[in-house]
Amino acid sequence: MTMKLHCFGESGNAYKAALTLELAEAEWEPVFVDFFNGAGRSPAFLDLNVMGEVPVLEDGDLVLTQSGVIQDYVSSKTGKLGGKSAAERREILRWMFFDNHKVSAVAGNLRFLMNFLPEDKRNADVIAFQAARLKSALKVVETQLSSTTWLAAADITIADIAVAGYLFYPEPFTFDRAEYPHIDRWLDSIAAQPGWKAPYDLMPGSPADRA
């Protein structure tokens, strides 16, 4: 049965789920959520996910929300990208929790503030504060990758996909790969995986559609 991922291209959290599905070679299809025109707040979508957020995964009668939960489910279902031991699984979870709090939450806000919010509503002080937080978090990732090929295990896992998700987007949000040589190498390694696609190639919806 083909799984359905409710998503839109601009969502970094949806990209994590979509890329996990793709790299795990799962059978899935995207279902476009027209977020910028209010689809996430429609009664039908709120019945699907009371949080009003993407991604949402439907696998038959099973409905899952939140990117980390979806990633974990896909990894468990396919037996891929989940590590090879209980110790590796704990390390995967450690980096996914770190990403959720320190990387994606900050990068997502920065990217929205700098690109999708009207210019007259962009607060320079808030952007500077968030940029400093992101830089601090990325220094941690850079340090880890200075001594390991992947974040949590000997091979790529859902932890790598989670932490890298927003870093593949083209819009400016103060992240410059040239400043992080180990992250740069790691992102190239992820992009070299069979099935990898950039966000706007993997999911429907992009800023160009609304230009």
Q: Are residues 108 and 142 in the same domain?
A: yes
Q: Are residues 75 and 44 in the same domain?
A: yes
- The amino acid at residue 117 is L
Q: Are residues 96 and 131 in the same domain?
A: yes
pLDDT in tens, the chain (211 residues): 899 999 999 999 999 999 999 999 999 999 999 999 999 999 999 999 999 999 999 999 999 999 999 999 999 999 999 999 999 999 999 999 999 999 999 999 999 999 999 999 999 999 999 999 999 999 999 999 999 999 999 999 999 999 999 999 999 999 999 999 999 999 999 999 999 999 999 999 999 998 7
Phi, psi angles (nearest 5°) of residue 113: -60, -40
Q: Are residues 202 and 186 in the same domain?
A: no
Q: Are residues 103 and 180 in the same domain?
A: yes
Q: Are residues 9 and 76 in the same domain?
A: yes
Q: Are residues 99 and 30 in the same domain?
A: no
- The number of helices, as runs of H, and strands, as runs of E, in the chain is 10, 4
pLDDT for 181: 98
- Number of structural domains in the chain: 2
Beta strands in 11-156 (DSSP E): 28-32, 56-59, 62-65
pTM score > 0.75 for this model? yes
Q: How far is CA 61 from CA 67, 100, 176, 198, in A?
A: 18, 27, 42, 29
Q: How far apart are CA 67 and CA 16, in angstroms?
A: 7
Task: Show the domain range for 16.
Answer: 3-80+196-210
Q: Are residues 72 and 138 in the same domain?
A: no
Cα atoms in the 13 Å half-sphere on the side-chain side of 82: 17
Q: Are residues 60 and 106 in the same domain?
A: no
- Beta carbons of 3 and 55 less than 8 angstroms apart: no
pLDDT for 166: 98
pLDDT for 210: 84
Q: Are residues 50 and 75 in the same domain?
A: yes
